[in-house]
Structure 1
Amino acid sequence: MTTLYPTLEADLACPSRYVRTQLHKEPSLAPFASTALGKEVHGRIATSLRLGLPVNQGAFRLPRRVMLSEGEKLDDLLNRAQRGLARFEADYRPNLEGEAHRVEAFVEWKLELDGKPVRFVGKLDLLLGQEIWDWKTGNPGGSREQLRLYLFLAYGATGNPPRLARAVGLESGEEVVEPWSEEIIPWGYARLRRMQESLCTALANPKALNPGRACRYCPYAHACSASQAPGRYLLDTRTGEVTELAAQSLVTE
């Protein structure tokens, strides 16, 4: 049975990266600092909502080594994460107290797509009645299609369409809201078919490289001849030692 999920298309942007990270689970030099902090922020919010307690705004505990992209500074990333938690605590958590909700809800829909069994799954940051909430540590502006896939997933798994899906930019306070509409149903099936086709293409040619925007946070870009990633640095968070990792330019003829 093929397993699909809402962010699969983004993961499939480069077939080689998808196969190495998602299928082979190859180790990388270190996680990106922004990714590690994003997981920490999401984890603290989930704990706060589950326990009904103020969110932990204490110091972040990062891995021994983290990756930074050119132009990123660890202090800036830490400050942004802290501002996100502060906004959640001030603007969102108090309004959620006493409301029925599910935190990090795993949703699964088993269906047939063109005669083939498919499993469409996802983890929703927050289910609040008939609303889906998705916390964003970055800009939520590009979230609309992801929100539509969340709506489609919840509809298929329960048989009842949610009222809306909301992406919340924790740092900026910006929100993107996508209401349910009947047109999401044919649109969603078309997206699943596209995902399935892209997955088959990637598996048929697992070493294919597709340089572009996906390179920026590829854990293997610094060792890829086709990389378009900016420069990156390996930071030892205990000693402060920084090692530059040269990202190679796109090879052109």
Structure 2
Amino acid sequence: MRCWSSAASSESVSVGEPVLLIQGLQRRFGTSGPVQVLDDLTLELSAGERVAVMGSSGSGKTTLLHLAAGMDTPDAGEVRVGGHRLSRLAEPERTRFRARYIGLVFQDFNLIDSLTVRENIELPLWLNNRLDQRQRITELAEELGIADLLERLPEKLSGGEKQRVAIARALVHRPALLLADEPTGSLDQTTAEGVLALFDRVTREHGVTLLMVTHNDDAAALCDRVLQLRHGRLSQD
């Protein structure tokens, strides 16, 4: 069982709890005739579990990941990471918590244009005062085929290269929970297979829990469970 700790007691994570527990989650958008995107959604993931969420465009998959990361606030229900209720953290605490325990892979990459590839990947280590673990940058860069890009700026990268940088940044601090939004969407088949092999390794060797949104059947096949998001709720076919 994972044992996580933090210098701030308000951000510590309970041992023995599900890594991710979502209960009764509801999210609506719009003020005039609001659209119910998520409706009483419930999900539980344990350490090292891999879950894929599939569904049509606009079904709320990205919204679900943002709520799981504490980047958005539900209209009802709750999200707990390692037993910690994210809604009870003030925004600065939630940001620190996310930087320490969660890895995020966004569809639009969210790289910082003024930082080199190396500096973008290094950011979670810097935020967590773990710069002594910089060797992981080289290890991940080699595994993802971007070792020769470390001194470039994001504007000099292709979409697939940016995706691999984002994946390295999400994994460099060995998060407890990896949230990935279409992580192979910008990659050719060979590179996508390498990324999925990396996900398989980190979940098995380091107990990282993976919640992945994908339209890719090969990516879904990596996971222990494949869930469909329809009408705001998850179901297993």
> Structure 1 length as normaliser, TM-score?
0.31
Rg larger in structure: 1
> Structure 2 length as normaliser, TM-score?
0.32
